[in-house]
């Protein structure tokens, strides 16, 4: 998929998609993604299996992640170059929001 179309589809992105992409900077399977996100957010975000696997399907279909291995019915995924670009752009968008809201809280 063209990066412009990907950008329109994913920016802004949901917290779920953001954290799944963030977790896949290293190769992980679905359950490891759930554990990573829960730990990183101190339990604020607890992803269910259905959410993770449907999101993985969408992200893989759009070329933002790719499967790297499969053992015992457990697929491992990693972020793609397009996924890294979109994640960086979203992180920059969030940083701008934070900067623009300084002094309000």
Half-sphere exposure of 99 (CA within 13 A, CB side): 6
Instruction: Report domain extents, the chain.
Output: 3-100
The per-residue pLDDT for range 78-97, each reduced to its tens digit, is: 999 999 999 999 999 999 99
Hunting for tokens 């960086």 — which residue is that?
Answer: 88
0.75 exceeded by pTM: yes
The per-residue pLDDT for range 18-48, each reduced to its tens digit, is: 999 999 999 999 999 999 999 999 999 999 9
Instruction: Let me know: does 23 contact 36? Beta carbons within 8 Å.
Output: yes
Indicate the helix (H) or strand (E) that contains 96.
Answer: helix 81-100
3-100 CATH fold:
Arc Repressor Mutant, subunit A (1.10.10)
């Amino acid at each position: 998929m063209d990066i412009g179309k990907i950008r329109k589809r994913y920016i802004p992105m949901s917290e779920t998609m953001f954290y799944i992409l963030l977790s896949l900077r290293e190769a992980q399977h679905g359950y490891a993604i759930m554990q990573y996100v829960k730990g990183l957010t101190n339990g604020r975000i607890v992803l269910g299996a259905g959410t993770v696997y449907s999101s993985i399907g969408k992200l893989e279909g759009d070329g933002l992640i790719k499967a790297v291995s499969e053992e015992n019915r457990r697929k491992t995924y990693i972020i793609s170059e397009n996924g890294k670009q979109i994640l960086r752009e979203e992180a920059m968008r969030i940083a701008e929001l934070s900067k623009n809201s300084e002094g309000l809280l």
